[in-house]
Amino acid sequence: MMRLVLFAALISLLSISCRNVQHLARVDNVNMVTGAETHPYEDEDMLALILPYRKAMDSTMGEVIGFTAEEIRRSQPDGPLNRMVADIIHNTAEASVDRPVSFAVQNYFGLRIDALPEGQLTLGLIYELMPFDNYLVVLRISGTTVKEFADLIASLGGWPVSHGIEFGIEEDRAVDIMINGKPLNLSESYTLATNDYLANGGDNAFFLTEYQQHNTGILIRDALINYIVDSTAEGNNIGEDISGQRIYLRD
């Protein structure tokens, strides 16, 4: 019996070894433009299938969750939308980890629209502002890394930063860095709140990857939504409490 099994295994092995093996030699890409010209007729059955889901989605995304008294715009090196988003990250992080956070940073192009308009804020608008599922993380970093981070931000024209950090930009470098009213101490450690994209080295923030992350499990988009809903419930317009420039151009 054993000889039979060995013989069968040998035949199987020989058949595999003699088989032609095909290897992927080339991949060709073909770009195809689709639209009304190429697909002039709508698929009525498909439209009927997705219509209930589309109505539910439109209803959800059209929900008004807050109001602004005036337009809130992002800009570089600093702007009201920059400050609002970064402050929400900062305050949400502090509440989550239950300890002081030195400052917060959000990458500029992580904000995907230029402004929140005056008037109604819908849930869908916040999804447009922050469409990515980025999580809020907290890291304990050195003063030297704070300087590296500030220099990166300065070289890219300025990013959203929270209260707790201020600096000037001179020749694409950060100068006069202040942390909570005191000059940056390269020998100290500071608590940073940011998104997991940056913490994992995105946008050339590779120096953050050496630090252990505390992932709060909170999506930054959800932090914004919660802030807007809570502020509205308290009778406040969104953006009323964002003031004080944090990043400035040094003459």
For range 107-134, the mean pLDDT:
97
202 compared with 28, residue with greater pLDDT = 202
- Max distance between CA atoms of the chain, in angstroms, equals 91
Q: Please choose, from the candidates 193, 198, 241, 243, the residue with its C-alpha nearest in 3D space to the C-alpha of residue 218.
A: 193
- Quickly state the pLDDT bin for 251 (edges 50, 70, 90): confident
Q: Count the alpha carbons within 13 Å of 112 in the hemisphere toward its beta carbon.
A: 11
Query: DSSP class of residue 70?
Result: S
Q: Which CATH code fits 58-240?
A: 3.90.780.10
User: Is residue 24 scored above 60 in pLDDT?
Assistant: no
CA–CA separation, 213 vs 240, rounded Å? 32
CA-based angle 226:228:231, to the nearest 5? 105
**pLDDT attached to residue 241:** 75
**pLDDT attached to residue 45:** 66
For range 5-27, the mean pLDDT:
48
Q: Give the contacts of 159 (CB within 8 A, at least 6 positions apart).
A: 82, 105, 106, 107, 108, 153, 247
CA–CA separation, 197 vs 180, rounded Å? 25
How much is the CA Rg of the chain, to the nearest whole Å?
26
For range 189-216, the mean pLDDT:
98
* Pair type for strands 182-183 and 115-116: unpaired
Name the token pair of 12: 């199987």
pTM to 2 decimal places = 0.79
Name the token pair of 204: 């050339």
CA–CA separation, 156 vs 97, rounded Å? 30
**pLDDT attached to residue 16:** 44
**pLDDT attached to residue 11:** 45
- Quickly state the pLDDT bin for 41 (edges 50, 70, 90): low
**pLDDT attached to residue 242:** 81
Query: DSSP class of residue 105?
Result: B
- Quickly state the pLDDT bin for 42 (edges 50, 70, 90): low
**pLDDT > 70: percent of the chain:** 76
CB 224 within 8 A of CB 126: yes
- Interval 135-179: pLDDT, tens: 999 999 999 999 999 999 999 999 999 999 999 999 999 999 999
- Quickly state the pLDDT bin for 128 (edges 50, 70, 90): very high
